Amino acid sequence: MVRLGWLLTGSREVGEDIAHDVFLRVEPKWHDITEPVPYLRHSVVNAARSHHRRRGVERRHLPVPPEATVNPQIDEVWSVVGELPKRQRHALVLRFYLDLTVEQVAVQLDCPLGTAKSLIHRGLAQIKERIGQ
Amino acid sequence: MITDKMAEDLLSRTFSTVADQVPPIPPLRWIDARAMRPAERSSLRGRFTAVVRRHRGWTLSIVLVAGVAGAGAGAAASGLFSSSANHVFRHDYAMPLPAAFGQIPAFNPKKEKLEVVDPGPEGTTISVWTYPETSSILCIAGVESKPGKRTSPGKPAAKVSVGGCSGSGSGSQPSGTVPPPQDRKYGADGGIWRGYSGQLFFVRAGNAPAGAKSLVVTLSNGKKITAAVRNGWYAFATTYKLAFGLSGTFYLSNGTAIPGEFAA
């Protein structure tokens, strides 16, 4: 969940905080949850969206610099991902990190199937365009 | 010219590489919390809060393993093992545990024991190893072989999939000796990891009720897989998406089902 939060928000610290908050919120009602993983995943996605909304203005003016890895190509792709609109970024993370189907991505993002397809398609197009330059 | 497939592969590799910088967090700690009294749970919550807020990197794994679940010091130092293999799994659910790659540094080749080898994903095998960390701490590890091969004693190959230690420690578990067999019989640990092909799998290892010779697991799509039980231990693996809501039944050698609930 920390990893998912990180990939969704672009910040490891924020990812850890989101995972932490989600776990604390979920823990009291753990007994009532029949499928913990999807529930937690959905909670993390929602928390990431809330984070983006709260930090929207700041992020537009002061984007969080991506954290570097040791691989330049990975760094480049990660950098491009960091500049994508948040909905596209979320769709790509859910599709290509969690291996969710497009239908599952749509459920996670609370959007129609066509919108999910479009987000993934446009996100991939951005990646191809920026990396191909 | 970058194709869609290339872009998808790049994204998958990027996400995996970035995410792998977050160390694996041992599973089952919420199971610990659930089994504890409210006061203890509150204490645990406070500890977890403090840990998450103040610590980064490997410290997170180490503190959680050693402090919360009382795992063995060697396993904790390795950062590879989960909190405990000594939990009732009648109703437990192992939190997603991303793949921990590498050998088993905390295991002592002279002491480790190969308990059972069961089929793993993609032509691999999953081996369950036990190792008495001390006289009061027993560690287990599920190890995935390289495709088409088996792990061999003293040389655990490939990847550690799941693992944990039970026994006394500094955390929430009572001090004492190795838990008696009747308490350990439902001990299990599970985790989600990425296989050699990149696909996600759910791997589970644990020990079985006395006399069990096989475990039949019913996946969420109704398909059944059978895992052999040897020396009281079993392991199985399935694709990640079929692991939710799985159930299982242990059987004696004569085919009689052993009563009890097995759920993930």
Pick the residue from chain B with its C-alpha nearest to A10: B18
Alpha helices in A55-110 (DSSP H): 56-61, 72-83, 86-96, 102-109
Q: Is A122 exposed, middle or buried (0-12, 13-18, 19+ CB in 10 A)?
A: middle
Residue B7 is nearest to which of A7, A78, A127, comparing CB atoms?
Answer: A127
Beta strand segments in chain B, E? 113-119, 125-134, 137-144, 159-167, 188-194, 200-207, 214-218, 224-228, 233-239, 247-251, 257-258
Nearest Cα residue to B164 out of B72, B35, B60: B72
Integer Rg of chain B from CA: 18
**The length of chain B, given as a count of residues:** 264
How far apart (Å, rounded) are the C-alpha atoms in residues A100 and A113? 13
What phi and psi values does residue B73 have, to the nearest 5 degrees? -65, -40
A128 reaches B (C-beta below 8 A):
yes
**Which pLDDT belongs to residue B143?**
62
A1 reaches B (C-beta below 8 A):
yes
* Disruptive mutation site among B2, B4, B15, B240 for chain A (greatest number of A CBs within 10 Å): B15
Residue A78 is nearest to which of B7, B18, B200, comparing CB atoms?
Answer: B18
- CA triple A103-A104-A109, angle to 5 deg: 100
8 A C-beta contact, residue B168 and residue B153: no
**Which pLDDT belongs to residue A119?**
92
A20 reaches B (C-beta below 8 A):
yes
- Strands of the sheet containing B214-218, edge to edge, are B224-228, B214-218, B247-251, B257-258
Q: Do B7 and A30 touch (CB under 8 A)?
A: no
8 A C-beta contact, residue A45 and residue A111: no
B96 reaches A (C-beta below 8 A):
yes
Q: Do B244 and A35 touch (CB under 8 A)?
A: yes
Report DSSP state, residue B242: G
Beta-bridge partner residues of B38? none
ipTM surpassing 0.85, yes or no? no
- Strands of the sheet containing B188-194, edge to edge, are B188-194, B200-207, B233-239
Q: Which residue has the tokens 């008495």?
A: B132
Intra-chain end-to-end CA distance of chain B, in Å: 45
Three-state SS for B100? Answer: strand
Intra-chain end-to-end CA distance of chain A, in Å: 33
Long-range contacts of A112-116 (CB under 8 A, 24+ apart): A116/A91
Residue A7 is nearest to which of B15, B25, B199, comparing CB atoms?
Answer: B15
Q: Nearest CA of chain B to the CA of A59: how many Å?
A: 21
Q: Which residue has the tokens 């920390």?
A: A2
8 A C-beta contact, residue B179 and residue B167: yes
Tokens of B54: 């103040």
CA separation, residue A48 to residues A21, A43, B22 (Å): 11, 8, 17
Residues whose CB falls within 8 Å of the CB of residue B46, separated by 6 or more in sequence, listed in order = none
Average pLDDT value for residue range A64-80: 69
Residues whose CB falls within 8 Å of the CB of residue A115, separated by 6 or more in sequence, listed in order = A106, A109
Q: Do B48 and A99 touch (CB under 8 A)?
A: no
Pick the residue from chain B with its C-alpha nearest to A18: B52
More confident residue, B172 or A101: A101
Which string of DSSP letters, residue by residue, matches A24-54? HHHGGGGGG-S-HHHHHHHHHHHHHHHHHHH
Question: pTM value?
Answer: 0.39
More confident residue, A84 or B146: A84
Q: Do A77 and B21 touch (CB under 8 A)?
A: no
Q: Are strands B200-207 and B214-218 parallel, antiparallel or unpaired?
A: unpaired
Q: Do B2 and A27 touch (CB under 8 A)?
A: no
* Disruptive mutation site among A127, A129, A130 for chain B (greatest number of B CBs within 10 Å): A127
Q: Do B18 and A6 touch (CB under 8 A)?
A: yes
Q: Residue A125 belongs to what H/E stretch?
A: helix A113-132
Digitized pLDDT (tens) for each residue of chain B, 264 residues in all? 778 888 888 888 888 887 776 655 443 333 343 333 333 333 333 333 333 333 222 222 222 222 223 222 223 223 223 333 323 222 222 222 222 223 334 455 566 677 788 887 777 777 776 666 666 555 556 666 666 655 544 444 444 444 555 543 322 222 233 333 333 333 455 666 666 676 777 777 777 777 889 999 888 888 899 999 988 888 888 887 777 777 888 889 899 988 776 654
How confident is the model over B196-253, as pLDDT tens digits? Answer: 676 777 777 777 777 889 999 888 888 899 999 988 888 888 887 777 777 888 889 8
**CB < 8 Å to A24, chain B:** 45, 49
